[in-house]
Amino acid sequence: MLAVVTGASAGIGEAFAIRLASEGWDLVITARRRQRLETLAERLMAAHHNKVRVLVADLVEPTEASGLSQILSTEEVDLLVNNAGFGGYGPFAEKDPEVINDLIAVHISAVSQLTRAVLPGMVKRNTGAVINVASILAFSGTMPPQPLPYRATYAGAKAYLVAFTQALAGELAGTAVRVEVCCPGLVDTEFHADFDLSNVTLPVMDPAEVVNAAMKGLARGEVVCIPSLEDPGMIDQLGEIERTMLLTASSGGLATRYRPS
């Protein structure tokens, strides 16, 4: 079995690699930092005798994302974990446009390309899975920027991952290929290196806990996995509200309030 993990040099990605190696998976691990990847690969191979291949790629760069996609399209990938990402927090009107473009490239473009690269093979073999690591901030659009961070692009990108995964699950219905989007809250990783989590009153998860939730959720057939949500029925309720609104809006013409007075 071959698993590919992006953003594997630290945090949730590293935890995925450790978990999968312990379960006997061969791995392709990718990120920007070669030394960290090679150190992790050596450690995993020594401990579990798996094959671990390092592919250095900066998914901000379109050519590198495209090159990685090309490589993966030739492999029999059984599991793809799209985990690479960064926050890019800050007021949108003050944000460097390059940072906005980079965030979209990593969270949206690269995820779409890599998933497209491996999915045809999975469908042909009728086996495989894709886990997209998003964030609970995907559902935060109506929340004010305080106490949450300024996050317009980040939250929008993560919301894309939720909708993308849900729609893809519908396309794959009737096959044995599974897709899941995992939406953790605060996780103790380098991602939050600029924040002092010691004074945070909200629960802070360990990366291994997020990975365990994602893997259990995938086994349970969950399309949306929110590790800290006790009642998964809330996800179903939200989906039902969305479907009702879509069907109701689609069945009518111009709403009364928008008609000429």
3-class SS shares of the chain: helix, strand, coil, % to 5: 50, 15, 35
Using alpha carbons, list the distances in angstroms from residue 34 to 11, 68, 76, 100.
15, 15, 24, 25
CB atoms within 10 A of CB 87: 18
Question: CA-CA distance, 225 to 182, in Å (whole number)?
Answer: 5
To which residue do tokens 């609104």 refer?
Answer: 245
Is residue 154 among the annotated active site residues?
yes
Q: How many CA atoms lie within 13 A of 88 on its CB side?
A: 26
Catalytic residue among 89, 150, 154, 160: 154
- Residue 200 and residue 186 in contact, taking contact as beta carbons nearer than 8 Å: yes
Question: CA-CA distance, 185 to 202, in Å (whole number)?
Answer: 9
Positions marked active-site: 154
